[in-house]
């Protein structure tokens, strides 16, 4: 937290010494954005004539102020912050290489960079040094503040950065790092329910379903309305644990809020399939397929149902659809091979089983050895 204190202190001090000259208009009057006049960064041409934004006198700060918006996350927690943005103005006056070189949080950096890129495309007159147009780098300071509140509130912004890092880790498959970053975010700000949901996803991926359930229930308790996606996820985790009763309870609550929730429909279909309630299972799998443009999971379980019922041609089609979207799905190859075998397409069955074996499906190895002599290479 020492770094946080230093960052807040820096924001506070800089906020008092800046010569801020323009204000962005926001629909909520308490959220104010202030933009400073550009400052020359280039030392090589320190004595040059500054580039002129518009020859008619229009100020850069006015155009930029109209393109900046206060980030919704920062509004929610009434955060303030400061960002320094640099950019290049070349010999023809064209603007490029927009960068944030200082800033209190990514949420403000992103808003500032996007605003500058949108508003500032070129200058009417480039910088002049000894009578010659030259390229220079300029910087501007953009301050986000809340009317009537102390400047430099950083806690929630830091929590946002940690949560963002955790979600990036989760997306890249680095689940333990995701848990660390999301936990640090929660310790900084425990009032943001989405962070608990994301950590629940990471816990589930690392084989900690009980911790996932704990986080999902905390998330549901923090919002005024129950979110269907979170309820569906909670039901799915209970299904992982084999607790069909609790799974059905939460999955049905999910569908009460959103009758078209794809994953909830698939999971309820799985429960019916495991209970040998084939007509009900088929109903939910087919309904799920209508809700998704690539219903891979629904096709897989529908294929299992068709295989069990002896509809091998339909099962073959379902597993083939899965493999179009997931060509490395070993279980789909294995079960498609079972359909092929039942249809007496032995050669095709063996090809699928060999592929499944190469993808780590152990059951396929036994079938290759017993049914596919000479095809295991």
Q: What is 293-377's CATH number, 1.25.40.10, 2.60.120.560, 3.40.50.300, 1.10.10.10?
A: 1.25.40.10
pLDDT in tens, 62-75: 888 888 888 887 77
* Mean pLDDT, rounded, for 336-353: 95
Provide φ and ψ at 105, rounded to 5°: -165, 150
Higher-confidence residue: 49 or 311? 311
* Mean pLDDT, rounded, for 42-71: 84
Say what the alpha-carbon torsion angle 267, 268, 269, 274 is, to the nearest 10 degrees.
90
CATH 3.30.2420.10 in the chain is located at 2-153
**CB 160 within 8 Å of CB 106:** yes
pLDDT in tens, 292-302: 888 999 999 99
Checking if the pLDDT of 78 tops 50, the result is: yes
Higher-confidence residue: 303 or 79? 303
Which CATH architecture group holds 2-153? 2-Layer Sandwich (3.30)
Checking if the pLDDT of 8 tops 50, the result is: no
Sequence-distant (≥ 6) Cβ neighbours of residue 85 within 8 angstroms = 98, 99, 100, 101, 112, 113, 116, 139, 140, 141, 142
pLDDT in tens, 159-201: 777 888 899 999 999 999 999 999 998 887 777 788 899 999 9
Q: What's residue 357's pLDDT?
A: 95
* Mean pLDDT, rounded, for 253-274: 94
**CB 177 within 8 Å of CB 205:** no
Sequence-distant (≥ 6) Cβ neighbours of residue 4 within 8 angstroms = 154, 155, 158
State both tokens at 161: 């950065």
* Predicted TM-score (pTM) of this structure: 0.60
Alpha carbon separation from 279 to 54, 178, 251, 274, 305 (Å, rounded): 71, 41, 19, 12, 10
Q: What's residue 89's pLDDT?
A: 92
Checking if the pLDDT of 349 tops 80, the result is: yes
Q: Across all residues in the chain, what is the average pLDDT?
A: 84
> 125: which DSSP letter?
B
* Mean pLDDT, rounded, for 49-68: 86
Checking if the pLDDT of 5 tops 70, the result is: no
Strand ranges in the chain using DSSP code E only, listed in sequence order: 20-24, 31-36, 39-40, 81-89, 95-103, 127-129, 132-134, 136-146
Checking if the pLDDT of 376 tops 50, the result is: no
Reference 282, options 310, 301, 255; nearest CA is 301
CATH class as words, domain 154-223: mainly alpha
Q: What's residue 150's pLDDT?
A: 54
pLDDT in tens, 313-340: 999 999 999 999 999 999 999 999 999 9
Checking if the pLDDT of 223 tops 80, the result is: no
Q: How far apart are the first and last CA of the chain?
A: 59
CATH 1.25.40.10 in the chain is located at 154-223, 293-377
Angle at 82 between CA 76 and CA 84, to 5 degrees: 135
| Band of pLDDT at residue 273, cut at 50, 70 and 90 | very high
DSSP letters, 183-218, are HHHHHH-TT-HHHHHHHHHHHHHTT-HHHHHHHHHH
Q: Exposed (0-12), middle (13-18) or buried (19+): which is 269, by Cβ within 10 Å?
A: buried
Residue whose token pair is 């078209």: 260
**CB 229 within 8 Å of CB 261:** yes
| Band of pLDDT at residue 4, cut at 50, 70 and 90 | very low
d(C-alpha 112, C-alpha 47), whole Å: 28
């Amino acid at each position: 937290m020492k770094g946080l204190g230093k960052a807040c202190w820096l924001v506070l001090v800089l906020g008092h010494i800046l010569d801020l000259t323009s204000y962005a208009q926001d629909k909520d009057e308490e959220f104010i954005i202030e933009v400073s006049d550009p400052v020359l960064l280039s030392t090589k041409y320190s004595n040059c004539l500054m580039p002129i934004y518009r020859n008619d006198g229009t100020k850069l700060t006015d155009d930029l102020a109209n393109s900046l918006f206060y980030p919704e996350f920062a509004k929610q927690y009434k955060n303030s912050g400061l960002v320094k943005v640099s950019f290049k103005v070349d010999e023809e006056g064209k603007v490029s290489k927009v960068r944030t070189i200082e800033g209190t949080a990514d949420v403000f950096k992103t808003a500032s960079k996007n605003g500058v890129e949108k508003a500032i495309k070129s200058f009417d007159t480039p910088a002049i040094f000894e009578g010659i147009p030259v390229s220079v780098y300029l910087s501007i300071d953009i301050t986000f503040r809340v009317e009537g509140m102390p400047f430099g509130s950083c806690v929630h912004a830091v929590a946002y950065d940690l949560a963002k890092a955790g979600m990036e880790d989760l997306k890249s498959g680095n689940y333990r790092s995701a848990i660390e970053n999301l936990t640090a975010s929660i310790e900084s700000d425990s009032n943001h329910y989405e962070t608990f949901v994301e950590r629940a996803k990471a816990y589930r991926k690392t084989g900690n379903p009980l911790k996932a359930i704990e986080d999902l229930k905390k998330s549901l308790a923090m919002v005024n309305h129950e979110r269907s996606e979170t309820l569906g996820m909670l039901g799915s985790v209970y299904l992982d644990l084999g607790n069909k009763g609790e799974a059905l309870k939460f999955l049905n609550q999910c569908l009460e809020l959103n009758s078209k929730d794809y994953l909830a429909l698939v999971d309820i279909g799985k429960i019916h399939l495991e209970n040998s309630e084939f007509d009900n299972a088929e109903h939910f799998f087919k309904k799920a397929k209508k809700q998704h443009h690539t219903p891979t999971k629904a096709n897989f379980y529908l294929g299992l149902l068709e295989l069990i019922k002896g509809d091998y041609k339909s099962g073959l089609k379902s597993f083939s659809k899965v493999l179009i979207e997931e060509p490395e799905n070993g279980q789909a190859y294995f079960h498609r091979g079972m359909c092929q075998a039942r249809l007496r397409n032995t050669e095709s069955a063996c090809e699928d089983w060999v592929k499944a074996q190469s993808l780590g499906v152990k059951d396929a190895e036994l079938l290759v050895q017993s049914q596919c002599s000479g095809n295991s290479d």
